[in-house]
Amino acid sequence: MPELPEVETVRRGLQHLITGFRITAAHDLHPRALKPESIAPLHTLNGAKITGTNRRGKFMWITLNRPYVLVAHLGMSGQFLIHQKDRPQATHIRAQFQLKKPLRNLELVFNDQRTFGWLSIEELTNNVPTSAQHIAPDPFDPLFDKGATVKNYLRRNIKIKTALLNQEIMSGVGNIYADETLWRAKVHPEVLTSELSPKKIATIIDYATAVMSEAIKQGGTSFDDLYINVNGESGFFEQSLAAYGQEAEPCPRCGTPIKRITFGARSSHFCPRCQKR
């Protein structure tokens, strides 16, 4: 599932490519393309001018010269793609947008093979759309309060891996970057938050921020063609992964084989020597 770095990579691509265009036609082509809670059908966007993009955690939205925005969640395989003559056309298009500005036309599509992603037209409250109101700021958000986040983690008596995945404490981190964060911090994924000091929690937040920053620079993590950017290109952070998906591979720090455990229907990858329980 795309996490913050992948969503941010897509957002940056859209910001660069579609800002300033006007939507001349918007079509939903699948019954699950539009979230049921959307305040209006997709064709309501016809005539709207795109003014930019924004994001919180794994939610992103396209801003318009209207009192609402187009929100997107990529789910497991959602993609925004610009159709280009020299590239194959998308094969699982769920929504289609014709864009125009003087002397130039673009076709933007929302492609989603597994159909867990969605689009929604929503109003903003304090500059955040309705569906993301319950999501905590991520470490790149100007409103992110590191001290308050540390305290929020410490109030929970839960496994640190579970805590990192809780989007209501700090958003953006999913399975990939949680494993990479805990590997860098040398913390076992099953350690309870109540067993960690405020300083250690703050260090974990710093590592999460650092690993996601590095992933953004490399265009995110792509294990298959279900995650690609708006130009149809894959991210390269997979080549930098130390723990996630590296079961039985030597730990880059000490050489001990990476171990995988399962809890809460999720897998965690860690070094049993560097990240002792």
The single residue of 186, 259, 266, 273 carrying the catalytic annotation is 266
Q: How would you label 155-164 residue by residue, b for 16+ Cβ within 10 Å and e otherwise?
A: eeeebbbbbb
37 token code pair: 């809670």
The single residue of 35, 55, 56, 58 carrying the catalytic annotation is 58
Q: How far apart are CA 82 and CA 108, in angstroms?
A: 5
Active-site residue flag, 214: no
CB 169 within 8 A of CB 152: yes
Active-site residue flag, 3: yes
CB 227 within 8 A of CB 213: no
Element (H or E) spanning 175, and its range?
Answer: helix 175-185
Active-site residue flag, 58: yes
Q: How far apart are CA 185 and CA 198, in angstroms?
A: 14
Residue type at 17?
L
The single residue of 2, 129, 137, 139 carrying the catalytic annotation is 2
Burial of 147 by CB count in 10 Å (0-12 exposed, 13-18 middle, 19+ buried)?
A: exposed
Q: How would you label 16-51 residue by residue, b for 16+ Cβ within 10 Å and e otherwise?
A: ebbeebbbeebebeeeebbbeebeeebebbeebebe
Active-site residue flag, 137: no
Q: How far apart are CA 90 and CA 82, in angstroms?
A: 9
- What are the residue numbers of the active site? 2-3, 58, 266
